[in-house]
């Protein structure tokens, strides 16, 4: 692991078995990253490296990477995908946004629709929201009985373990923004006619439940940050810092997956092309 990425990762990883105090994590303080100019330069290199690594992963064909993005409305899930994977070929990538479940999806266990979207070997899958919604909005809005919600943390851990044991590496990022920053971003969506479509009146209801959501996040992070699939809390008020942190960790993770070109059952000299 590169020293810089390791330092960042160690700092923002939720240590398994501990409960993060989200209120104590400053969403705007990113001084630990170093000078903004240097951070941006490193980011530019990282996104190019991610493309090359993804290409290598595609040829390797035996492993996959699942990137899970969670965060309050406007926390920058879309922007992260656009930023971090801006140079990555869509070949061998998939993005899936999980919205309110359909009737068919609700007629199954909550992991059914998630399992179906997991990335195939050789590819990177990105979840824009995920099964964690079922212990976040599910809990805050009481969409399921308490004991059902309670069971889900273990179910999630077991499910993620299955994926990891099946050669999928999992990275989970909580984009941690401040309520103040969210207010500004929501206002911007109202002020800019080309952003109106991103505004959903129900976002204001969720904003009204801010503290409940933060509490639900703390429980989810505490119970589901595991050695096999850790959670990272990303200070996300500054978009450039958010993207740089995630790109550094994604790049480093890919570099440490031991990607190889597959061994072919033939020698090049076996063939002659006419």
Give yes or no for residue 196 binding a second copy (CB under 8 A): yes
Q: How far is the CB of 77 from a second copy (least distance, A)?
A: 9
State the binding string over 243-272 for a second copy (x if CB under 8 A, else -): ------------------xx-x-x-x-xx-
Kindly state the number of chain residues that form the binding site for a second copy, as judged by CB under 8 A. 41
Is 249 within 8 Å of 68 (Cβ atoms)? Answer: no
Give yes or no for residue 190 binding a second copy (CB under 8 A): yes
Kindly tell me the sign of the dihedral angle through the C-alpha atoms of 226, 80, 185, 129.
negative
The only residue of 23, 102, 145, 191 in contact with a second copy, by rule CB under 8 A: 191
Give counts: helices (H), strands (E), the chain: 11, 5
Cβ neighbours of residue 155 under 8 Å, at least 6 residues apart?
110, 111
The DSSP H or E segment spanning 202 is helix 201-208
Q: Give the up-direction half-sphere exposure of residue 176: CA atoms within 13 A in the CB hemisphere.
A: 28
Considering only residues 35 through 64, tell me which ones interact with a second copy, judged by CB under 8 A.
Answer: 59, 61
Which SS3 state, helix, strand or coil, does residue 2 take? Answer: coil
Q: Rounded to an integer, what distance in angstroms lies between the CA atom of residue 38 and that of residue 224?
A: 33
The only residue of 21, 35, 104, 273 in contact with a second copy, by rule CB under 8 A: 273
Considering only residues 76 through 115, tell me which ones interact with a second copy, judged by CB under 8 A.
Answer: 78, 81-82, 85-95
**Which segments within 22-166 are labelled E, that is strand?**
64-71, 93-97, 124-128
Q: How far is the CB of 89 from a second copy (least distance, A)?
A: 4
Considering only residues 201 through 240, tell me which ones interact with a second copy, judged by CB under 8 A.
Answer: 201, 204, 207
Residues at the site binding a second copy, with contacts judged by CB under 8 A: 59, 61, 78, 81-82, 85-95, 126, 128, 183, 186-187, 190-191, 193-194, 196-199, 201, 204, 207, 261-262, 264, 266, 268, 270-271, 273-274
């Amino acid at each position: 692991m590169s020293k810089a990425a390791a330092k960042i990762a160690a700092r923002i990883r939720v240590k398994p078995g501990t409960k993060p105090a989200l209120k104590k994590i400053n969403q705007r303080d990113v001084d630990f990253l170093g000078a903004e100019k240097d951070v941006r330069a490193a980011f530019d290199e990282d996104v190019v490296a991610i493309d090359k690594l993804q290409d290598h992963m595609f040829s390797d064909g035996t492993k996959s990477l699942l990137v899970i993005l969670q965060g309050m409305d406007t926390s920058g899930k879309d922007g992260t995908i656009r930023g971090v994977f801006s140079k990555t070929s869509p070949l061998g990538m998939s993005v899936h946004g999980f919205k309110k479940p359909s009737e068919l999806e609700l007629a199954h266990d909550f992991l059914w629709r998630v399992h179906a979207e997991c990335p195939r070997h050789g590819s990177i899958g990105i979840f824009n929201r995920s099964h964690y919604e079922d212990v976040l909005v599910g809990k805050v809005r009481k969409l399921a009985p308490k004991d059902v919600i309670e069971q889900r943390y273990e179910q999630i851990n077991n499910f993620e373990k299955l994926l990891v044991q099946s050669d999928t590496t999992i990275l989970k990022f909580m984009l941690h923004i401040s309520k103040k920053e969210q207010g500004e971003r929501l206002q911007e969506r109202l002020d800019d006619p080309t952003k109106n479509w991103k505004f959903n009146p129900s976002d204001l209801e969720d904003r009204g439940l801010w503290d409940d959501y933060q509490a639900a996040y703390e429980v989810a992070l505490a119970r589901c940050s595991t050695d096999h699939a850790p959670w990272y809390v990303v200070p996300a008020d500054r978009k450039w810092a958010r993207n740089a942190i995630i790109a550094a960790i994604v790049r480093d993770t890919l570099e440490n997956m031991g990607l190889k070109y597959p061994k072919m059952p033939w020698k090049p000299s076996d063939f002659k092309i006419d």
